[in-house]
Amino acid sequence: MLDGPHKEEKMKVALPVMGGKLSPHFGQCEGFALFEVDETAKDVSLLETMTSPGHARGFLPGWLADKGVDVVIANGMGRRAMELLAERGVKVFTTASDETPEDIVRAYVAGSLEAIDFTCEGGDGHG
């Protein structure tokens, strides 16, 4: 029997991908690589690769939040998409890494992923 409440420290991390790499733009990706991260063990595992449902205005942030995503790691993202994700409690991390999606998540978990401040202008909510 466990002493006290048992809480697993797992989070879901999504990366927009194109051609197996981090997509240069969140809203115009082919799909998303969804990883589960055990924060305690620092274990990263690919849950699934999902085809993007399309680039409808403001849709992707809610779609990802509904899938239980806690963190989105992206390259370029519109300011409105960032706001919509934040409203749903999803953290956004922007980077210019050209590593594989799994290596990017591993670097994020290790705290060694370089952050960049990169938002796409336009404010159309496409993100």
- The ranges assigned to domains in the chain are 10-120
Q: Which amino acid is present at 68? A: G
pLDDT digits (tens, 9 = 90+) for 25-64: 898 899 999 999 998 888 999 999 999 998 777 899 999 9
pLDDT at residue 93, rounded to an integer:
95
**Residues contacting 19, CB < 8 A, separation 6+:** 30
Q: Is the pLDDT score of 126 beyond 70? A: no
- Going 5 to 43 to 40 to 38, the CA torsion angle's sign is negative
Q: Which pLDDT band holds residue 91 (cuts at 50, 70, 90)?
A: very high
pTM attached to this predicted model: 0.85
Q: Which residue has the tokens 């595992």?
A: 45
Asked if 73 contacts 13 with a C-beta cutoff of 8 angstroms, the reply is yes
CA distances from 68 to 17, 89, 98 (A): 18, 10, 25
SS3 of residue 47 by DSSP: strand
pLDDT at residue 54, rounded to an integer:
82
SS3 of residue 30 by DSSP: coil
- Per the CATH hierarchy, to which homologous superfamily does domain 10-120 belong? Dinitrogenase iron-molybdenum cofactor biosynthesis domain (3.30.420.130)
